[in-house]
Amino acid sequence: MYKKANAGHVGCSLSCLEMTVFVKFDLMKAEDELILSKGHAAALLYSVWAEDNIISEKELETFYQNGTHLSAHPPVNKIKGIPFATGSLGHGLSIAAGLGLAGKLKKNDKKIFCITSDGELNEGSTWEAALFISHHNLKNVVWLVDRNYLQGFGRTEDTMKLDPLDKKLESFGFQVEAADGHDFNSLKGAVARFRDERPLAIICNTIKGRDLALQDTVDCHYLPLTDAEYQKLINQ
Amino acid sequence: MRKEFAEAIINLSKTNDKIIFLTGDLGFMALEGVKEYLGERFINAGVAEQNMVTMAASLAYEGFLPFVYSISPFVTLRPYEQLRNDVCLHNLPVKVVANGGGYGYGIMGGTHHNIEDIGSMRILPNMKVFVPFTKKDVHAGLQEMANDPSPNYLRLNLASTQDLTVFSQWRKIKAAEGNVQAVIIGTGTVVDNLFKLPDSLLGGLEIWLLSKFPVYDIPSELSETIHYTKNVITLEEHQGQCGLHETLASLLLKQLKTPIQYHTLFASGYPSGKYGSQQWHQEENSLAGKNLENKIIEFISNPHAR
């Protein structure tokens, strides 16, 4: 999709690829919701939804084209299972908080999974949502942080230091678990350790643009794949 | 209007169990009854308006009817992107309730005023703006909002004591005695100041009230009076752009066949840099008292005055 569209955002999709697949196919029941707060990884979301036959292969071909529903960030009210358009960072955890509150009021078993980037933790609204989720003990919300240590114009620790992130999230009242965000067993283990006492936040340690020549650089956030790189990935 | 608003919300909640009330940590001496009545459906979302508005969008997505409440700028301008992206783009029925639009918070100062609320809200996709005038308007407006499947904004202020029975977008609230000297079209409770003008001046005025935005048409009776008098004055406790007079001007440009004099009275901010009561700010901006009187006399006697 990215190669055909000659589009960027490849690296940030690769960093949360396994997390998204894990949530969709290992954790989610039919009624559950996944909020991809880092909407710039939309192509990944569309691909995973296509694997679940929510989006057709034919529609995937329209990604980035004029007249598509599959814009570079998730669209408004167009795709089943994508309840909200995301793309402006810092909204997703509040969306999850509201859905979690609704579930609590309705007394249902619906779970809300929210994947945020680490760079978007610069947004104050994310921390407003974290306070709310913790205060109301919304254990039906599971927060996964794609911790790739890179953001839009530099490394997270050079821009606005987030570490010790686990301590920050713990102090906000979450049960915090760490996982290798590219390893399904590690992710499974983090979820298995959930004690059902406090809302769960999983810091998923990842590599932006994993396996690309430009992995772990800001470049892989923006630059489209070269022909050689694309061929190399296809051959792997 | 806060008291009437609280009563109206409780009344609505008696027959609508989907209502959820979220406040941004405000409502002291006003919302205690709402809190008690709604129980777990009353949420103090804290001083965190961005999160509150987005959560309201999620609650609406889940089938609830959420009201979000705060002082006007805190529930409109602070979470503006949340309103646009999460509420309005998705056309979700989130009801934004703002206490004290315009200079309503008086001596509290500029941070608590909102002379940009009607403009900033009315341009959002799917949003309808409600500007009640009387206490009865609050009840009727709120009922209409509860039935509307789209986002709404409600501007609460000190109610007029004029006795108007029907709430509607356009209302002719006063006819002229004899020849019409000018048609005044206003929005919000600032219009009440016209009724304090000397009888000799008030008698020549025909007054119309606009209480909902967006507005797409001008009533034919008003249109005829405008053609006849050719002298229109707009009155709003709102800044000069994006509010009443600009939206009305664009409508008149499309409909009018003859030139008219078009005068505007609006909130220009803080011309002296000083602060006072709501009444004081209205007077400073020629929206009340002697300054309002002088402006109207000037507009009538010299049609080309600005």
Domains and CATH numbers, chain A: 2-72+83-235 (3.40.50.970)
Distances (CA, A) of B109 to A155, B49, B271, B294: 41, 20, 14, 26
Of the three residues B121, B156, B191, the one that is the final residue of a domain is: B156
Judge whether B67 and B45 are in contact, CB under 8 Å: no
* A77 has a pLDDT exceeding 90: no
Judge contact between B2 and B156, C-beta under 8 A: yes
**Chain A residue closest to B79 (CA)?**
A125
* Burial of B187 per CB tally in 10 Å (0-12, 13-18, 19+): buried
pLDDT value at residue A65: 95
Which residue of A35, A77, A82, A91 is the best one to mutate when testing the B interface, meaning the one whose CB has the most B CBs within 10 A?
Answer: A91
% helix, strand, coil for chain B, step of 5: 40, 20, 35
- Judged by CB atoms closer than 8 Å, whether chains meet at A129 and B51 is answered as yes
For residue B302, the model assigns a pLDDT of 79
Query: Is the pLDDT at A144 greater than 90, yes or no?
Result: yes
What ipTM does the predicted assembly reach? Answer: 0.94
Q: How far apart are CA A188 and CA A24, in angstroms?
A: 13
Handedness of CA B253, B255, B260, B261 (dihedral sign): negative
Q: Do B82 and A91 touch (CB under 8 A)?
A: yes
3 state SS of B256: coil
**What's the one-letter identity of residue A109?**
D
Cα B195 from Cα B256, distance rounded (Å): 28
Average pLDDT over residues A110-118: 98
Q: Is the pLDDT of residue B304 over 90?
A: no
Claim to verify: residue B221 and residue B259 sit in the same structural domain: yes
The stretch B26-32 carries a mean pLDDT of: 92
- Asked whether B306 and B245 are in contact (CB, 8 A), the reply is no
Find the range with the poorest average confidence among A79-88, A209-218, B17-26, B129-138.
A209-218
Mean pLDDT to the nearest integer, A84-109: 97
Domain hosting residue B108, numbered range? 2-156
Rounded CA separation B80/B72 (Å): 12
Q: What band does A229 get if pLDDT is binned at 50, 70 and 90?
A: confident
pLDDT (0 to 100) of residue B217: 94
Average confidence score pLDDT of chain B: 95
What is the rounded distance in angstroms from the CA atom of residue B141 to the CA atom of residue B222?
23
Are A179 and A203 a contacting pair, CB within 8 Å?
yes
Q: Which residues of B touch A83 (CB under 8 A)?
A: 58, 61
Residue A187 and residue A180: Cα distance in Å, rounded? 7
Chain B residue whose CA is closest to A84: B86
> Which carries the bigger pLDDT value, residue A68 or residue B2?
A68
Domain harbouring B16, CATH code: 3.40.50.970
Task: Mark yes or no for CB contact A129/B61 under 8 Å.
Answer: no
Give how many domains chain B has, as a whole number.
2
Last residue of a domain, one of B103, B133, B156: B156
- Domain match, B110 and B198 both: no
**Pick from B124, B156, B188: which residue ends a domain?**
B156
- Residue A207 has a pLDDT of 96
Interface touch B64/A97, C-beta < 8 Å: no
> Does the residue B162 lie in any domain?
no
d(CA B101, CA B131): 9
Q: Which residues from chain B sit within 8 angstroms of residue A77, using beta carbons?
A: 90-91
What's the pTM?
A: 0.95
The answer on B220 and B183 residing in a single domain is yes
Alpha-carbon distance A108 to A104, whole Å?
7
- List, as ranges, residues 48-87 from A with C-beta within 8 Å of B: 76-77, 83-85
Any idea which residue has 């639009």 for tokens? B101
Cis peptide bond N-terminal to B214, omega within 30:
yes
Q: Which of A132, A86, A93, A98 is nearest to A114 (CA)?
A: A93
Domain check: are B21 and B136 in the same one?
A: yes
Amino acid, single-letter form, for residue B262: Y
Same domain, B242 and B264: yes
**B281-to-B187, B189, B270, B292, B298 alpha-carbon distances in Å:** 17, 14, 8, 12, 21
CA nearest A166: which of A121, A132, A125, A221?
A121
pLDDT band for position A219 (50/70/90)?
Answer: confident
DSSP B189: G
Share of chain A above pLDDT 90, in %: 86
Assess if residue B27 is contained within a domain: yes
Cα distance from A127 to chain B (closest Cα, Å)?
9
